[in-house]
Amino acid sequence: MRTRRTSATSTAAARPGWDSAVCPSAAQVGSHASWEGLVCAEYGRLAALTDGACVEPAVRVRCADGAGPGGDLHDAVLTPSGPRLILGDVKGHGEQAAPLAAALRTAFRDAAPTEADPVRLAHTLDTRIGPRLGPEDFVTVLLADFRLDEIRLVNCGHPPPLRTGRRLAPVTAPSPSPPLGLAPDPRMQRTRLHPDQRLLLYTDGLVEARDGDGVFFPLDRHVHAALNAPTLDQALDRLLDLLLRHTGRTTTADDLTLILLQRAPVPLPRHPCPRSASPFREADP
């Protein structure tokens, strides 16, 4: 799916205990200063809300060829049970895809805080944006609910998250679901992270990137090594470097959103994690 979004540089200040946010500079986005603010705000919401689940995020956003807002989106809200994240990718690109991405973000913010069941939420989002979709339009979506002992995922046609630790492995949905707009039928999936593991959420601008011979970007041992860098920010920077070296470009050919998560190494002062409820305590086999 080809979509368009904004370049990113380290312009946002880090909160104590978090890796620095990566948001676009005004020089890079030109007349898209409002888009810069939106990307920074999205990161801020994600960082603040995952705080309560003792999870650390780092985010990188790139747009194709330096264009403005497009069809990638990510956002976070707080539910009674904990933080909830959405990562989505609208079919299409550039300004044509941006209104639908904005509509989905609005629908998510309206429905997600009070809907207990993430599967029902996916159907609600499908219903809300359905009237805006053309006959061939669709939106891939990944929903993630954070709990102290697990992450609950609902995947509607989106690339599966990658869990990295001693090995690199996709967290594949047990029953694949079509995207929103194509009669989605997702099931909830539960996963856990060991303290030495990380979880990468991404849009298809990563795996659909090609080199000069048309070879897709491989999720290989080099990616595994990059994602195991000492910090989350270093990991995403190394991953982006691998991607650009593969494509031989200085910018991404498609929109790209990367969200890398790990268990917080120590309890954060405002929201301490009880020792009896250590987050992501066990790893899936």
pLDDT at position 264:
77
pLDDT of 198 > 50? The answer is yes
The number of residues making up the chain comes to 285
CB 198 within 8 A of CB 206: no
Q: Angle at which helices 94-111 and 118-129 pack, to 10 degrees?
A: 130
Tokens in use for 34?
A: 């409002």
Assess if residue 222 is contained within a domain: yes
CA 158 – CA 85 distance, rounded (Å): 14
The H or E element that residue 88 is part of is strand 82-90
Confidence of residue 212 (pLDDT cuts 50, 70, 90): very high
CB 75 within 8 A of CB 259: no
Assess if residue 73 is contained within a domain: yes
pLDDT of 187 > 90? The answer is yes
Assess if residue 21 is contained within a domain: no
Count other Cβ atoms within 10 Å, centred on residue 136.
Answer: 9
Q: How many domains does the chain have?
A: 1
Q: Rounded to two decimals, what is the model's pTM?
A: 0.78
The more confidently predicted of residues 25 and 168 is: 168
Kindly tell me the sign of the dihedral angle through the C-alpha atoms of 45, 120, 80, 260. negative
Kindly tell me the sign of the dihedral angle through the C-alpha atoms of 46, 283, 206, 99. negative
CB 105 within 8 A of CB 75: yes
Assess if residue 85 is contained within a domain: yes
CB 253 within 8 A of CB 203: no
Residue 187's CATH number: 3.60.40.10
Its domain, for residue 189, covers: 26-277
Assess if residue 1 is contained within a domain: no
253-275 residue pLDDT tens:
788 999 999 987 555 455 444 43
232-251 residue pLDDT tens:
999 999 999 999 999 998 88
Assess if residue 265 is contained within a domain: yes
Backbone Cα Rg of the chain: 18
Residue 10 half-sphere exposure, CB side, CA atoms within 13 Å? Answer: 9
Assess if residue 18 is contained within a domain: no
Q: For the chain, what is the mean pLDDT?
A: 79
pLDDT at position 55:
81
Percent of the chain at pLDDT > 70 equals 71
146-166 residue pLDDT tens:
988 899 999 999 999 999 999
107-151 residue pLDDT tens:
999 999 999 999 999 999 999 999 999 888 999 999 999 988 899
CA 114 – CA 100 distance, rounded (Å): 22
Q: Using alpha carbons, select from 77, 85, 80 the residue that is nearest to residue 110.
A: 77
7-61 residue pLDDT tens:
332 223 332 222 233 333 323 333 334 434 445 555 565 665 555 557 889 999 8
- Average pLDDT of the segment spanning 93-106: 83
pLDDT at position 123:
98
Assess if residue 12 is contained within a domain: no
pLDDT at position 51:
57
Count other Cβ atoms within 10 Å, centred on residue 80.
Answer: 7
